[in-house]
């Protein structure tokens, strides 16, 4: 279903088991909203109104970025593996496996068995952001959550990690 609020047209998808309402601005600037099947249209429009400024900001940022459809596993591996080798030695943390896949929303992950996976789209991102993702995922080998200790570990190696996080929005 396509709805419009002010100057924003969006696709609405309703799902029975979804608890919350989510907004996603895609690379092409289109807006997608997903919500619980029983959430009233009025509540969805109010949520879009509440997020209006954020949506417009995302659309503006995305319009300024060159769009890279995808990157290959080989491109991602060529960029990430040298960084992983460097930071594994510095942090003294070694993954049991390294994989690459194309994800829509996650840049990287670390399993309970210390298996790291990286998004192939990182090959299209700013190198400082990619380095941050590598350090972030390695830190999860030591700390399996986003606790104070986890962030202290990331900051110990990348004191400017907060600025690097923001590079995902402008790469």
From first to last of its 171 residues, the chain has per-residue pLDDT tens of: 887 888 888 999 999 988 899 998 887 788 999 999 999 999 999 999 999 998 888 888 777 665 554 567 888 999 999 999 999 999 999 999 999 998 877 999 999 999 999 999 898 888 999 999 999 999 999 999 999 999 999 999 999 999 999 888 754
| Main-chain phi, psi angles of 16, to 5 degrees | -65, -45
In this prediction the pTM is: 0.61
- Residue 95 near residue 113 (C-beta atoms within 8 A): no
Which conformational region is residue 84 in: left (phi greater than 0), alpha (psi within -120 to 50 degrees), or beta? alpha
Eight-class DSSP state of 150: H
Q: Which domains does the chain have, with CATH numbers?
A: 2-63 (no CATH), 73-170 (3.30.2010.10)
Name residues whose C-beta falls within 8 Å of residue 24's C-beta, 6 or more positions apart in sequence.
31, 32, 33, 34
Which residue from 60, 62, 41 is spatially nearest to 52, judged by alpha carbons? 60
């Amino acid at each position: 279903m396509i709805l419009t609020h002010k100057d924003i047209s969006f696709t609405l998808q309703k799902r029975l088991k979804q608890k919350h309402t989510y907004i996603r601005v895609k690379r092409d600037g289109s807006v997608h909203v997903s919500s619980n099947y029983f959430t009233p249209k009025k509540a969805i429009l109010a949520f879009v109104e509440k997020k209006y400024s954020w949506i417009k900001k995302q659309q503006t940022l995305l319009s300024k970025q060159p769009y890279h459809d995808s990157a290959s596993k080989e491109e991602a591996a060529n960029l990430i593996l040298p960084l992983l080798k460097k930071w594994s030695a510095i942090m003294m943390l070694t993954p049991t496996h390294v994989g690459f896949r194309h994800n829509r929303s996650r840049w990287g992950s670390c399993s309970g068995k210390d298996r790291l996976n990286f998004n192939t789209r990182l090959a299209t991102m700013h190198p400082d952001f990619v380095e941050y993702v590598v350090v972030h995922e390695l830190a999860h080998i030591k700390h399996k959550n986003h606790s104070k200790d986890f962030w202290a570990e990331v900051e110990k190696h990348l004191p400017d990690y907060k600025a690097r996080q923001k590079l995902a929005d402008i790469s």
